Amino acid sequence: MSKILEISDLKAIAKRRVPKMFFDYADSGAWTEGTYRANEEDFRKVKLRQRVLVDMTNRSLESTMIGQKVSMPVALSPTGLTGMQHADGEMLAAKAAEEFGVPFTLSTMSICSIEDVASVTTKPFWFQLYVMRDREFVKNLIDRAKAAKCSALVLTLDLQILGQRHKDLRNGLSAPPKFTPKHIWQMATRPLWCMQMLGTKRRSFGNIVGHAKNVSDLSSLSSWTAEQFDPQLSWENVEEIKKMWGGPLILKGILDVEDAKMAARTGADAIIVSNHGGRQLDGAPSSISVLPKIVDAVGHQIEVHVDGGIRSGQDVLKAVALGAQGTYIGRPFLYGLGAAGKAGVTTTLDIIRKELDITMALCGKRDIRDINRDVIAE
Ligand SMILES: Cc1cc2nc3c(=O)[nH]c(=O)nc-3n(C[C@H](O)[C@H](O)[C@H](O)COP(=O)(O)O)c2cc1C
């Protein structure tokens, strides 16, 4: 792993090790992928102030997200099908995050179940919820997250209808993969991935199969998912979920000031400024471009977090400077996982920590908690 210096190195390795349909699933955005690209490009437009001759010793990246201590303000985003980037992917990523001292968020649409992840971790992780029409199933998921001692519920608001990602349709993406000649070829050319996948029994949606009504086998699953996401989800439902859960709540997928104001009124603990990594509304602005407006509007009422396009520790510093108390990485940890399993996720976090630390020092700061818009160059 010695020649791996930046996240793009991990991405290149993941591309060689993960079957095309799953690599593409991570590396894709909706329609033209314009918002996906803007998320990354707009970080590059934010410039930092170089300061000199200030004491740079004793630096600290420790902070808090929703009052919980983090070794740096970076959490792992909830991502579906993570166990298809690498066998038992969610369990490996959760362990890497725990050892690093940052939050891991398990997706509803994960391959490993809530119980699987709880069985290999010792500290609480976070659980991301998609609200389904089958409210009994939702209640059951929440109860399972409580039983697993999850310390936050991340409620995703921006995917009640699925955005179209051309690559997934062209690739015929499914979990577990179909056995057509094309799919068999994609897997046969990734023998290590296949061997590891044959060594686990976790190859389908672990939170759903065997838990949701009438989903005991895989043939019924895809139609169930398409039918189940509730397109009538409302702010009243958010209140209901908040009550049902009764613990720290984070609302994910806010990109508009008006929505941010509504979210702040719910009494949730934080919002995540997010466009789902450019996978939903193509043509929406990048997350980093709307962050300052949202912080100005609601930052005094609710903690503001951000995700989308973070590819380095420099990006984390820029997000914190523009008012984010916490940040999340999706693809960067998926690339690490696809490249080298748990060690790859640790490498992702190491790279980001090092870049964040050096950037902070070169901006003349020693404590991440002192970072504000002062470090941004006009
Ligand atoms: C492959 C993939 C799967 C995702 N699945 C989910 C999901 O199940 N639930 C969710 O709330 N967000 C999901 N997201 C969105 C991420 O949580 C996050 O918002 C996004 O990845 C951040 O952008 P980044 O990948 O540029 O860091 C997914 C993103 C990716 C790349």
**Which residue's CA is minimally distant from atom 14 of ligand 1?**
79
Instruction: Using most ligand atoms within 8 A of CB, pick from 279, 291, 316, 327 the residue to mutate for ligand 1.
Output: 279
Q: How many CA atoms lie within 13 A of 339 on its CB side?
A: 23
Measure the CA dihedral 108/111/114/119, to 10°: -160
Q: Is the pLDDT of residue 221 over 70?
A: no
126 lines ligand 1 (CB under 6 A): no
Predicted confidence (pLDDT) per residue in 242-254, tens digit: 999 999 999 999 9
287 lines ligand 1 (CB under 6 A): no
Q: Annotated active-site positions, please?
A: 276
State the distance from the centre of ligand 1 to the C-alpha of 322, rounded, in angstroms. Answer: 22
Predicted confidence (pLDDT) per residue in 222-238, tens digit: 667 778 889 999 999 99
Residue 2 has a pLDDT of 61
Of residues 368, 331, 347, 355, the one with CA closest to residue 99: 347
26 lines ligand 1 (CB under 6 A): yes
Of residues 281, 283, 359, 277, the one with CA closest to residue 321: 359
Atom index in ligand 1 nearest the CA of residue 253 equals: 19
Residue 222 has a pLDDT of 63
**Confidence band, pLDDT 50/70/90 cuts, at residue 217:** low
Atom index in ligand 1 nearest the CA of residue 278 equals: 23
Predicted confidence (pLDDT) per residue in 103-162, tens digit: 999 999 999 999 999 999 999 999 999 999 999 999 999 999 999 999 999 999 999 888
Residue 292 has a pLDDT of 98
- Give the global pTM: 0.97
* Length of the chain, in residues: 378
Q: Is the pLDDT of residue 324 over 60?
A: yes
Instruction: Using most ligand atoms within 8 A of CB, pick from 11, 37, 79 the residue to mutate for ligand 1.
Output: 79
User: What distance in Å separates the CA atoms of residue 332 and residue 29, rounded to the nearest whole number?
Assistant: 15
